[in-house]
Amino acid sequence: MADKVHITVVVNGVEHHHEVEPRLLLVHYLRETLGLTGTHVGCDTSQCGACTVHLDGQAVKSCTMFAVQADGCSITTIEGLGSPGSLHPVQEGFWEMHGLQCGFCTPGMIMAAVDLLNKNPNPSEAEIRHALEGNYCRCTGYHNIVRAVQYAADKMAGKVAMAADD
């Protein structure tokens, strides 16, 4: 067995110190060590995007990154975005625009969408679709996911949000 390595990470604003095996994937560290199960394991090959989190403000797929690579970094998971009483605008958009069905891909989709809006606060439909290319949804057909991101962009810009039944 390999020697364990000490890591220090800040996850959702809380500092954590752990001894981990060098081969432990970040997604498993988040889920199994920290109990943050909102980050999903879908494919283990970075194809589906269900494991997307933010590492130092950038969207990354945590199933192809080792926990030791995150040493000294700040990580935001879906649990760190909002709360039931105060949803992040992208979370609210998914709710209002019916951007989810089974919910398995939703955390990764939301994290990818937040990353997009942080970089481009007023994306076109084509830019939204391009930004979400690395995140698969088998249920929705993406139309309402795109509407959810558009809703969030409008809300974050202070524009009047579209009605959910438009």
pLDDT in tens, 85-143: 899 999 999 999 999 989 899 999 999 999 999 999 999 999 999 999 999 988 877 99
Is 69 in the same domain as 101? Answer: no
pLDDT at residue number 166: 47
Is 112 in the same domain as 47? Answer: no
pLDDT at residue number 138: 87
Report how far residue 68's alpha carbon sits from residue 21's, in angstroms, rounded to the nearest whole number: 8
Is 60 in the same domain as 96? Answer: no
Is 65 in the same domain as 28? Answer: yes
> Percentage of the chain surpassing pLDDT 90?
81
Is 111 in the same domain as 74? Answer: no
Is 114 in the same domain as 139? Answer: yes
Examine the pLDDT at 69 and tell me if it is beyond 60: yes
Is 75 in the same domain as 111? Answer: no
**Closest by CA position to 100, among listed 68, 78, 123, 76:** 78
Is 53 in the same domain as 94? Answer: no
Is 72 in the same domain as 97? Answer: no
User: Domain range spanning residue 125?
Assistant: 89-156
